[in-house]
């Protein structure tokens, strides 16, 4: 189910125009994202895009259900380094915690090199927790980080705590930090839940 959760987190891309995907053979496909789904076995995620000429293109992509050990961490980094778009999940409490959690799965003697690779190939990080909605069900409270040259430099020097600033200031690029997103969904959650999370975020940052 981890891959399904990862795809659900990408729901904001549904219907979005002018999205570009680069396939493993170097082909660039630009269009509208129409769907993202997995096979019944939850092993081969794919995205369907509608191109400008109306053609629907289905693009499979590598996914790692959960990066949980040395082997899966190495596979993810090596695949990304060779030009593959890799989707994966990792247990971490926040975006800022993610790089170190990933690197700690690897042997100490290659972590510096692995951090450099991670910083270079990263496209985006998304962290989410599910919290109760006002009526029923749950809603995702998210952080979104989109990589660029400045963030690559931050990651390479190991200043992961600075990522909070970039998420907060990158709203126009589609980024958000957890506090900003919490405020945007305030009307959908109970007051006590909103206040509890605001307190948690004040302590955290």
d(CA 134, CA 147) in angstroms, rounded, equals 33
**Which pLDDT score is estimated for 133?**
92
Cα 148 to the center of its chain, rounded Å:
14
- Condensed to tens digits (0 to 9), the pLDDT of residues 159-185 reads 999 999 999 999 999 999 999 999 999
Q: Kindly state the average pLDDT of the residues 21-44.
A: 63
- Range with the lowest mean pLDDT among 2-6, 55-59, 133-137, 150-154? 2-6
Give me the pLDDT at residue 38, please.
54
Tokens of residue 22, six digits: 């680069």
Indicate if the pLDDT at residue 148 is higher than 80.
Answer: yes
For the segment 45-54, what is each residue's pLDDT rounded down to a tens digit? Answer: 677 788 888 8
At the topology level, CATH places domain 95-205 in Rossmann fold (3.40.50)
The C-alpha atoms of residue 61 and residue 10 are separated, in whole angstroms, by 14
What is the chain's mean pLDDT, rounded? Answer: 84
Q: What's the token pair of residue 185?
A: 């969904």
pLDDT at position 136 over 90: no
pLDDT of residue 25: 64
Percent of the chain with pLDDT over 90: 54
Q: How far is CA 191 from the centre of its chain?
A: 28
**Contact between residue 193 and residue 132 where contact means Cβ atoms under 8 Å apart:** yes
Give pLDDT, residue 156.
97
Domain spans in the chain, listed from the N-terminal domain onward: 1-91, 95-205
**181 Cβ partners below 8 Å, 6+ apart?**
141, 142, 143
């Amino acid at each position: 189910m981890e891959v399904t959760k990862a795809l659900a987190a990408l729901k904001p891309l549904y219907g979005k125009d002018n999205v570009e995907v680069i396939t493993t053979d170097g082909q660039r496909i630009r269009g509208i994202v129409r769907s993202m789904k997995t096979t019944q076995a939850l092993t081969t995620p794919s995205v369907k895009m509608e191109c400008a000429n109306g053609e629907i293109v289905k693009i499979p992509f590598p996914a790692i259900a959960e990066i949980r050990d040395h082997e899966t961490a190495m596979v993810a980094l090596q695949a990304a380094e060779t030009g593959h778009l890799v989707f994966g999940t990792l247990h971490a409490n926040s975006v800022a915690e993610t790089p170190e959690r990933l690197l700690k799965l690897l042997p100490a003697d290659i972590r510096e090199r692995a951090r450099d690779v991670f910083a270079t190939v990263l496209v985006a990080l998304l962290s989410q927790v599910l919290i109760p909605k006002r009526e029923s069900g749950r809603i995702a409270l998210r952080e979104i980080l989109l990589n660029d040259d400045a963030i690559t430099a931050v990651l390479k020097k190991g200043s992961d705590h600075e990522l909070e600033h970039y998420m907060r200031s990158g709203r126009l690029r589609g980024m958000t930090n957890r506090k900003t997103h919490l405020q945007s969904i305030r009307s959908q959650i109970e007051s006590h839940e909103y206040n509890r999370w605001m307190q948690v975020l004040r302590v955290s940052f």
